Chain A
Amino acid sequence: MKKCDVICPFCGCLCDDLEITVEDNRILGVDNGCTLANAKFMGKERLTSPIRRTDGGWEDINYDEAIRYTVDMLLDADRPLLYGWSGTHGEAQCIGVHMCELVGGIIDSTTSVCHGPSILAIQEVGHPGCTLGQVKNRADVVIYWGCNPLEAHPRHMSRYTTYADGYFLDNAFRDRTVVVVDVRETETARVADEFVRIKQGGDYAVLSALRAIVRGKGDMIPPSVAGVPRSQLERIVRMCKDAKFGAVFFGLGLTMTKGKYKNIRNAIELVDELSRHTKFTITPMRGHWNVYGSNEVFTWMTGYPYAIDFCRGIAFYNPGETSAIDILARKECDACMIIGSDPGAHFPRKCVEHLADIPTVVIDPVPTMTTAMANVQIPVAVSGIDAEGTAYRMDGVPFRVKKVIEPTLPSDTEVLGDMFARMKEAKGL
């Protein structure tokens, strides 16, 4: 049987046109998906039962034991960290916030290691954004800055920019101009109309120079800025000012390089400046499929988008102090529950060492690098495959991800709901 219009739960594009072939509650094939989608839907390395570390290896335990261990661990801790959340649906994230408030811990999503700086900048100067549909139908100039969608978001260019038809563009492929700004010539740069190679760490200077040129102050710019000739900067500004609708997309090449969130602020202020001449927007290329959802859920429940500290009973937010990397590197938590992410594969060594030193529980369908640091792992159904819930696309549009096969394991919502009920009972609530 073929299931149509399936949403892919891998990256922030949330492509909603996949066709999945299912027989006997098994996925046999994926059509319309990119290689990343294929790997996710066809993955077969799932755990079938919770596991607990022993002296010499692992032993199977039941869900009751695993959940009891997690509840006791979180209630006993002075400063527990509840990290991840970007690989699960909104309903589970809601329960996570309630749990965190109840145990007086810190809740953080993968935002703090991807587009956290973008949010800090947006809090300073706002966000002139739009939906991907607007970009697809209107944008005649698209700038990819510090991102490589052909490899990280493989269908972004075919669904929304370079290769997509646009309602208000006669010949979208020819009418659109694509600019790539990066420190190296990526796959995406090779298909762009213009490639701007920047020296590592020079993004802020280039953005400032572009802003000054837009404002007619180009005469003071040195002949070369961070490896980019002034003539090329002036050409890009002309291109942007002549556009009917411009869209900037940016990735971790801008958020996690020298200048951090001030880079994003500068990019937003460039877009603001360009919008005095034409219509321009800016959108972060979000990575995890529901990382945007974690920011939405956390914000509407706590007032803050990530890195929220409930230790004092009220929400306190200060990335750099209350974000997962900083807390782990400084050994400032004494227990950790990880869901929907794999910090063992991505965090600095100091952080991973601390995870190995403290009680750690992982909630994940498959063994990951983080499993090596965990005391207990609880397998769950995969959202968008055998569990369903709400997710937000990179432009902030919510979708309902559906299940394509019947679950054999509980979902994140069911496992967390059980934990939360036991916590309330233990607290007499």
Chain B
Amino acid sequence: MKVTLEVRPRRKPHLPIEAEKIVPRTFFEETDGLSVFRGNKELALEEIFSVAIEGEAASVDGVEITILGDSSRIKRVGEYMDGGRIHVMGDIGMHCGNFMSAGEIVIDGNADAWLGREMRGGTIRCHGSAGDFCAAGYRGEKRGMRGGTVEVFGDAGDFTAETLAGGTVIVHGNAGDLAGVDMKDGVLTIMGDTSMACANMSGGRAYVHGTVYDMIPTFRNIGRETVGGDVFTRFAGDIANRGKGTLFIRNYKYMD
């Protein structure tokens, strides 16, 4: 089944649209009477999108949703997604792939904040940049992303992979402040630069192929180590938190 949703022009284009119904399972089970929210107004899906559905699917994994047009303010797409595929041709709003457990989301443009929040499984690939709290948790939660893969080909914002507790996060560009803060498990890889990486880390592994600025002073330098042909400095920490995490860094600079 191929579902094509094209965003219609709106009178108030900045108001966010909450569209958690846009997941493959929704279209696999029922295509009538779907609604989204614009602020406090509940609207039929067709008021915001022009909808085209072709063919049928034998399972949720046979459903592919394509989103066209300006979807930068469409929130919660792929929330609780448990199979199938979503392809966003442009940018996507906040909370894309929240709590996702299976399937694949591909974003051709940029993703707003909280991409893959508390994700359990599946794959998200963002070919642009991601906002703050990419692959992170929710306010007050002790554990964030627990499984699956988030790959960002551009940059990621502050607090990327905050409270990461499982799965894999790869940022091909730079990450903002405090990437991997309060990380507990899983693997974080940053190909570019970041700052204050993995503060208060208590478990898991992180690799920074660029430079860590404002390096946290409470990581113990273990020595040089070669990983995948690249030479890193290996750190253990965060000692301030009795941490047992491992941090591999190509270059680092303390704020001394």
Contact of A259 with B239 at beta-carbon distance under 8 Å, contacts A202-B255, A321-B113, A332-B15 already known: no
Collect the chain B residues with CB atoms within 8 Å of residue A318's CB: 114, 138-139
CB of A365 within 8 A of chain B?
A: no
A-contacting residues, B151-191, CB 8 Å: 177-178, 181-182
Which residue of A208, A220, A321, A331 has the most chain B CB atoms within 10 A of its CB atom? A208
Collect the chain A residues with CB atoms within 8 Å of residue B132's CB: 320
Sort chain A's interface into a size bin.
35 or more
A206 CB to closest chain B CB, in angstroms?
A: 9
Collect the chain B residues with CB atoms within 8 Å of residue A77's CB: 39
Residue of A whose beta carbon sits closest to that of B221: A220
Collect the chain B residues with CB atoms within 8 Å of residue A2's CB: none
Distance A25 CA – B77 CA, assembled complex (angstroms): 60
Assess whether B218 is in contact with A209, with CB atoms less than 8 Å apart: yes
Select which of B40, B133, B240, B255 is within 8 A of A212 by beta carbon: B240
Assess whether A104 is in contact with B39, with CB atoms less than 8 Å apart: yes
Assess whether B255 is in contact with A311, with CB atoms less than 8 Å apart: no
Assess whether B218 is in contact with A212, with CB atoms less than 8 Å apart: yes
Contact of A317 with B39 at beta-carbon distance under 8 Å, contacts A212-B218, A262-B181 already known: no
Q: Mark B4-23, 1 if CB is under 8 A from A, else 0.
A: 00000000101110100000
Contact of A321 with B256 at beta-carbon distance under 8 Å, contacts A104-B39, A204-B199, A221-B218 already known: no
Select which of B73, B221, B242, B255 is within 8 A of A205 by beta carbon: B255
CB of A67 within 8 A of chain B?
A: no
A382 CB to closest chain B CB, in angstroms?
A: 32
Collect the chain B residues with CB atoms within 8 Å of residue A103's CB: 40
CB of B87 within 8 A of chain A?
A: no
CB of B28 within 8 A of chain A?
A: no
Distance A319 CA – B139 CA, assembled complex (angstroms): 8
Q: Mark B101-138, 1 if CB is under 8 A from A, else 0.
A: 00000000000011000000000000000001100001
Collect the chain A residues with CB atoms within 8 Å of residue B114's CB: 318, 321
A214 CB to closest chain B CB, in angstroms?
A: 9
Looking at the complex, which of A11-19, A85-93, A134-142, A223-231 is the stretch in contact with chain B?
Answer: A223-231
Assess whether A311 is in contact with B113, with CB atoms less than 8 Å apart: no
Assess whether A222 is in contact with B216, with CB atoms less than 8 Å apart: no
CB of B247 within 8 A of chain A?
A: no
Residue of B whose beta carbon sits closest to that of A266: B200
B-contacting residues, A311-333, CB 8 Å: 311-313, 317-321, 330-333
Collect the chain B residues with CB atoms within 8 Å of residue A330's CB: 14
Assess whether B40 is in contact with A78, with CB atoms less than 8 Å apart: yes
A-contacting residues, B212-242, CB 8 Å: 214, 216-218, 220-221, 238-242
Assess whether B139 is in contact with A123, with CB atoms less than 8 Å apart: yes
Collect the chain A residues with CB atoms within 8 Å of residue B15's CB: 78-79, 332-334
Which residue of A77, A226, A259 has the most chain B CB atoms within 10 A of its CB atom? A259
B73 CB to closest chain A CB, in angstroms?
A: 8
Assess whether B220 is in contact with A208, with CB atoms less than 8 Å apart: no
Collect the chain A residues with CB atoms within 8 Å of residue B220's CB: 220
Collect the chain B residues with CB atoms within 8 Å of residue A199's CB: 255
Contact of A78 with B41 at beta-carbon distance under 8 Å, contacts A217-B239, A330-B14, A332-B15 already known: yes
Assess whether B37 is in contact with A311, with CB atoms less than 8 Å apart: yes
Assess whether A334 is in contact with B12, with CB atoms less than 8 Å apart: yes
Assess whether A223 is in contact with B256, with CB atoms less than 8 Å apart: yes
A145 CB to closest chain B CB, in angstroms?
A: 17
Measured CB to CB, the residues of A under 8 A from B are 77-79, 103-105, 120, 123-124, 199, 201-202, 204-205, 208-209, 211-212, 215, 217, 220-227, 258-259, 262, 265-266, 269, 310-313, 317-321, 330-334
Measured CB to CB, the residues of B under 8 A from A are 12, 14-16, 18, 37-41, 73, 94, 113-114, 132-133, 138-140, 142, 177-178, 181-182, 196, 199-200, 214, 216-218, 220-221, 238-242, 254-256
9 A–B contacts from the bound complex (CB under 8 Å): A79-B39, A123-B139, A124-B142, A212-B240, A217-B218, A217-B240, A221-B218, A258-B214, A312-B37
Given A209-B218, A225-B255, A317-B139, output 17 extra A-B contacts at Cβ < 8 Å: A78-B12, A78-B15, A79-B39, A103-B40, A124-B142, A205-B216, A205-B255, A208-B199, A211-B218, A215-B239, A215-B242, A220-B217, A222-B217, A320-B113, A330-B14, A331-B14, A332-B73
